[in-house]
Structure 1
Amino acid sequence: MVIYAADFLLDRLLYRDGLILIIDKPAGLPVHAGPSGGDNLENYFDALRFGLPRQPALAHRLDRDTSGCLVLGRHPKALRKLHRLFAEGQIDKTYWALTKGIPEKLSGTIDKPLKKQTRGSGWRVEIADDGQRAVTTYRVVGRAGDVALIEAKPKTGRTHQIRVHLNAIGAPIIGDPQYGDQAPDQRAQPMMLHARRIIVPISKNKDPIMVEATPPDAMATALEKLGL
């Protein structure tokens, strides 16, 4: 288990202004506590107050095993605006994924509804006709053997959306603990999904904020080995 310093997010701060913060979320740390509790990203937000009377708050979420750009609102008014921008699809999100398998079509749009289904003591997200609409555009930007580097852009914000959608087109994400038919050595790797870039049009009178996060070490090493 990784032990984080109370102020470790200061070194992972990618952008800061009076309204928002954008941090580089580490893989393996959930953004908030689950039903059983445990360490989570919100435990470390006090170090990001920068003189304001309250901690910043999550404007959206990333899965526990996903790394990269995560937006926080610094006060309630900013948070309300961010929630609206996310809900209206005005925030542009770009993810990188390393997948075991090359999609038949090298670019396209996946428009498949998703629904959270309970399975025993757990749950997973599945494609279902009665699910919520979910849309992801994608393109293969590199390939080496049967491994692809895919740039994915979710147009909706459903739980596990990119993971389920890429698996549906024959390109499960390497290291995904839930989705895809993968060998044990592939599933044991860190999940190769990274929130690479985000563009936030927070102010009408200013250019949108564009921030990129460098891939984490495990993904960078895999990319280098593959020549991608």
Structure 2
Amino acid sequence: MDDIYSPPQDPLVILHQDHEIVVVDKPSGLLSVPGKGEHLADCLIARVQRVFPTALLVHRLDRDTSGVMVFALTPHAQRHLGLQFENRQTKKIYIARVWGEVAAPEGHIDLPLIVDWPNRPLQMVDHENGRPAQTDWKRVRTGGGESRMRLMPKTGRSHQLRVHMLEIGHPILGDPFYATGPARDFPRLMLHSETLQLRHPDGGRTLRFTAKAPF
């Protein structure tokens, strides 16, 4: 991974806003929250708070992952949404380009994950001590030595989709942590949070937000 943090300066893309929530399309290469040190202060929540000063964190996306992220605008909304994520009541769909042509049309991965302490923040499969992690996947298309996939995580472990794809032999293209050789030689991590479905904190109606993958 590059040591120099130079996040994209794209304008904020707002997908939805109301009195309780704001939903944005996060660019790849931008931290969700500040890192340690002044040089890692620029992040999505800081940019959102410049426009919506009361914005509160609900969930995160990896720095190199792009796509749909929701922020709460009130403490009530933060609690409400936090419980939905915690209780797996949200539905998330990611688009990924992966190495190799995936043979099966769909599948399910159930591999528990734990932080790889000597190499953190990397994660690894650990059947004894790992926390449960499940991912459903569907092949969208294949060709040219790669596959386009629709990934539906059932749990929200750190790096879950990245490790699960690696473990089935199809690392996500451009992954600076888990891809090697030609699979790594892409301008960005080819992982995008395309769809997020949740219940609105005020009234509970189901909302579905989508941002098209830029690759």
Whether these two folds match at TM > 0.5 is yes
User: Does the CA-based 8 Å contact 1:45-1:55 persist in structure 2?
Assistant: no
What pairs with 1:88-103 in structure 2 (closer than 5 Å)?
88-103=87-102
Partner amino acid, structure 1, of 2:33: H
User: Does the CA-based 8 Å contact 1:174-1:189 persist in structure 2?
Assistant: no
Higher mean C-alpha displacement, 39-48 vs 26-35 = 39-48
User: Does the CA-based 8 Å contact 2:108-2:136 persist in structure 1?
Assistant: yes
| Partner of residue 177, structure 1 | 176
1:118 Cα shift? 2.0
Separation of aligned partners in 2, 1:84 and 1:2? 30
TM-score by length of 2: 0.89
Separation of aligned partners in 1, 2:79 and 2:51? 19
Q: Deviations over 1:173-204 (max 9, x none)?
A: 000001133327x4342110000011112258
| Partner of residue 151, structure 2 | 152
User: What RMSD in Å do the two structures reach over aligned CA positions?
Assistant: 1.9
Separation of aligned partners in 1, 2:50 and 2:202? 29
Separation of aligned partners in 1, 2:146 and 2:101? 7
What pairs with 1:119-134 in structure 2 (closer than 5 Å)?
119=118, 122-129=120-127, 130-134=129-133
In the alignment, structure 1 residue 44 sits paired with structure 2 residue 47: yes
| Partner of residue 200, structure 1 | 198
Separation of aligned partners in 1, 2:54 and 2:93? 27
Q: Matched residue pairs, number?
A: 207
| Partner of residue 224, structure 1 | none
Provide the identity percentage. Answer: 32
Runs of 4+ aligned residues of structure 1 deviating over 4 Å after TM superposition are 203-206
Partner amino acid, structure 1, of 2:108: T
| Partner of residue 225, structure 1 | none
Q: Deviations over 1:20-45 (max 9, x none)?
A: 11100010001112234412222212
What pairs with 1:1-228 in structure 2 (closer than 5 Å)?
1-2=6-7, 4=9, 8-9=11-12, 12-37=13-38, 38=40, 39-49=42-52, 54-119=53-118, 122-129=120-127, 130-183=129-182, 186-202=184-200, 205=203, 207-216=205-214, 219=215
The gaps in structure 1 that reach 5 residues or longer are 220-228
**1:58 aligns to what SS in structure 2?**
coil
Separation of aligned partners in 2, 1:62 and 1:170? 23
Partner amino acid, structure 2, of 1:46: Q
TM-score by length of 1: 0.84
Separation of aligned partners in 2, 1:105 and 1:115? 27
